[in-house]
């Protein structure tokens, strides 16, 4: 009976969960055993017909999961249980199963095979999300909204600019993922302590052949295990990705608050329920789910880093922890990316509310623009800043529009005409290079996608 929410199907995509199902993991281990037998035959260590029989037998059609578990209950060793079950299914040729190998030659290489499939999905998710962000950046590149710092109105930006910032963050994660593949997707065939003694004189060739057969790179050098810095790097990268997505989700949650009301995640008005007791609620539930699951992914970095520490050539402290952290990190990160791509693709944008919110401070948010205008008329930047600081406070306390306060001030009215004040207070005149930056980042991202072999 399933217990954890990944097992119940609540979290995770079926595509990613399938990679980490027990049956797929066992099949990957059988694939490694088959490749090892084939490599032994290639260098002349065992008869080719025996290798071929082992390769045919190395399938869950012939090696039953129930039989593996039955043997494991008796001998208390999961890999040796698989070896014995495969040997049984191979008949007399089973004498050559697992020749010269140690358990983690099989486990670590099988892990790499699973991760190869998982990273292909995650990279595809990142590419899809990047594309959605590109579309939104282009669509809203001129849509003015209030930029905020410390939760307060700062200066006007565009919604497309915000999306472009997110887009480039995802682009960097794609680059990181592609760079670390070479270090992560490695297997090994090096024996009990890494010396390959049990594999004989052709040991290095056997390892090379096994990895070629499986589509992996051999680890540069290893002990009984592939050193866990590569696994830790992956988990930390997935935590970075999840945290970026949480940051985006948090922004949407903030902007969905009724007091702001500028963005909102999709809501199926016909059927979706926001609250069990308050019929009016339209909660940012999916964004909140993203935030919660991102915290789980981040938590996995601690055991991943601790798994780097091992007694001598290995101990078993990594084994139990990584049976959790590798599947969970991949499944949850993939799911988070799937959710956020769906959210952004269907995002509700209230441009009218954005315009209304810009006016909340009655023009005071444009004080920097007025300050810059004054400096162009010869006023010291520091003097202009102090004067406008006092005038913004006056406007706020007296609840007078900032323009009126400016016109009433003798220094301002002497230096700036009403037309110049109006120009300075117009948010569209103070977007700087925001739109140009969006265009430049679009061009850069298009080129990067082209270099990745993507057509759009």
Give the C-alpha separation, 75 to 82, whole Å.
Answer: 11
Nearest to 269 by CA among 340, 329, 346: 346
Q: Are 135 and 33 in contact (CB under 8 A)?
A: no
Instruction: Please pick, among 14, 90, 153, 275, the residue that the annotation labels catalytic.
Output: 275
Nearest to 127 by CA among 451, 412, 394: 451
What is the full DSSP assignment across 172-230?
Answer: HHHHHHHHHHHHHSEE---TTTSS-GGG-TTHHHHHHHHHHHHT-EEPSS-SSS--THH
Q: How far is CA 143 from CA 154, 352, 353, 365, in A?
A: 16, 10, 12, 17
Nearest to 190 by CA among 226, 229, 158: 226
Does the active-site annotation cover 231?
A: no
Cβ–Cβ contacts within 10 Å for residue 344, how many? 21
Q: Are 167 and 445 in contact (CB under 8 A)?
A: yes
Does the active-site annotation cover 275?
A: yes
Give the C-alpha separation, 231 to 238, whole Å.
Answer: 11
Instruction: Please pick, among 77, 98, 103, 150, the residue that the annotation labels catalytic.
Output: 150
H-run or E-run covering 152: strand 152-158
Angle at 43 between CA 42 and CA 45, to 5 degrees: 105
Residues with catalytic function: 150, 275
């Amino acid at each position: 009976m399933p217990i954890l929410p990944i097992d119940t199907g609540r979290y995770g995509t079926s595509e990613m969960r399938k990679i980490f199902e027990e049956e797929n993991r066992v099949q990957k281990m059988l694939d490694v055993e088959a490749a090892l037998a084939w490599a032994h035959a290639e260098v002349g260590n065992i008869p080719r017909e025996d290798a071929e029989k082992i390769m045919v037998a190395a399938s869950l059609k012939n090696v039953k999961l129930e039989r593996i578990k039955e043997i494991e209950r008796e001998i208390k060793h999961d890999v040796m249980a698989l070896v014995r079950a495969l040997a049984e299914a191979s008949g007399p040729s089973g004498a050559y199963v697992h020749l010269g190998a140690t358990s983690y030659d099989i486990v670590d290489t099988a892990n790499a095979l699973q991760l190869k499939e998982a990273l292909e999905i995650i990279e595809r998710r990142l590419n899809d999300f990047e594309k959605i962000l590109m579309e939104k950046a282009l669509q809203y590149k001129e849509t003015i909204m209030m930029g905020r710092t410390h939760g307060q109105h700062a200066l006007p930006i565009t919604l497309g600019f915000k999306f472009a910032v997110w887009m480039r963050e995802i682009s960097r994660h794609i680059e990181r993922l592609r760079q670390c593949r070479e270090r992560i997707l490695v297997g090994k065939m090096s024996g009990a302590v890494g010396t390959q003694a049990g594999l004989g004189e052709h040991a290095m060739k056997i390892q090379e052949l096994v990895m070629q057969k499986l589509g992996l790179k051999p680890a540069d050098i290893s002990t009984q295990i592939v050193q866990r810095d590569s696994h830790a790097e992956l988990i930390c990268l997935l935590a970075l990705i999840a945290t970026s997505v949480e940051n985006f989700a948090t922004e949407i949650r903030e902007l969905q608050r009724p007091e702001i009301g500028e963005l909102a995640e999709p809501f199926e008005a016909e059927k979706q329920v926001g609250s069990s007791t308050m019929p009016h609620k339209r909660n940012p539930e999916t964004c909140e789910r993203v935030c919660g699951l991102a915290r789980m992914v981040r938590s996995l970095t601690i055991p991943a880093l601790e798994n780097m520490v091992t007694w001598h050539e290995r101990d078993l402290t990594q084994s139990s922890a990584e049976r959790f952290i590798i599947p969970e990190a991949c499944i949850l990160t993939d799911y988070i990316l799937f959710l956020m791509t769906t959210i952004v693709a269907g995002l509700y944008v209230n441009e009218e509310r954005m315009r209304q919110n810009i006016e909340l401070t009655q023009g005071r948010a444009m004080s920097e623009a007025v300050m810059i205008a004054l400096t162009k008329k010869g006023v010291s930047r520091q003097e202009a800043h102090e004067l406008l600081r006092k005038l913004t406070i006056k406007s706020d306390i007296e609840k007078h529009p900032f323009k009126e306060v400016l016109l009433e001030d003798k220094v301002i009215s002497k230096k700036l005409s009403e037309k110049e004040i109006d120009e300075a207070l117009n948010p569209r005149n103070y977007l700087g290079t925001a739109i140009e930056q969006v265009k430049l980042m679009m061009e850069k991202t298009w080129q990067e996608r082209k270099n990745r072999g993507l057509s759009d």
